[in-house]
Amino acid sequence: MLVPYLTAGFPTIADSRAALRVADEYADILEVGVPFSDPLADGPTIQASSFRALTNGMTLAGTLALIADSQLRAPVVLFTYFNPVLRYGVDRLLRDAASAGVAGLLLTDLPSGADPAVEAAVQASALDLIRLVAPTTRRDRMQRAVAGAEGFLYLIARLGVTGASATVATELAASIARVRDVSPLPIAVGFGVSTPAQARTVADLADGVVIGSALVDVLGREGVPAAGRFLARIRAALDER
């Protein structure tokens, strides 16, 4: 399962739409990031893309319009911090996102149990509640960390913020095993996967691979066609397994 991540509105709104359509050719699931002014979980590459997208005028409403206009084949997961959702309105967001074709919602800074009312609202909606699982989660807390999750689980491959990495964390297999012990949902691994070889290694352990910072970096430096070629190489590495 290949899960490309793109920041809505980066590097321009027109190029963002084109990049989504190109990524859709290779993706099993698409993650679309909502630009936010204080993206604490993100590393320099995605932070820079978020700030540039905000400068371009991209908003949460604009992100939904971009998704709807792109007419994507793959299911879309909206990747966002909680503050933009609160400002937009939780019920309004769930309604408008479903209308735009969004299939899932990942709230990066809302751990399980932090706001039961919001979690229940997402679970009662047409959107899947995607849980983010940290590699430091203890076995005795893992059950609570994935409680109420839908669709798939997003497992962070390593400590720290998002960003391309030269290696895949050696403890990844143990982290995946802990998650599998408590949930039957597919596991997608992200944070640091940046090459076809790494993607193949991760795919041998997990059910899905998230490609974020490396893709955003190629898109920003070399443009949409290069981003498509990069994803084609990742897709080929996964399909050759």
Give the residue numbers marked as catalytic.
31, 42
89: left (phi over 0), alpha (psi -120 to 50) or beta: left
Label residue 139 exposed, middle or buried (CB < 10 Å: 0-12, 13-18, 19+).
exposed
DSSP class of 167:
S
For the record, the structure tokens of 48 come out as 């820079």
Contact indicator for 77, 31 with CB cutoff of 8 Å: yes
DSSP state of 8: T
Is residue 234 within 8 Å of residue 211, measured between CB atoms? Answer: yes
Enumerate residues 6+ apart whose C-beta is below 8 A from 82: 107, 108, 109, 110, 115, 118
Start-end of H helices in the chain? 13-24, 44-55, 60-70, 82-88, 90-100, 116-124, 139-145, 172-182, 196-205, 213-222, 224-239
Alpha carbons 46 and 27: distance in angstroms, whole number: 19
Structure tokens at 27: 């993706």
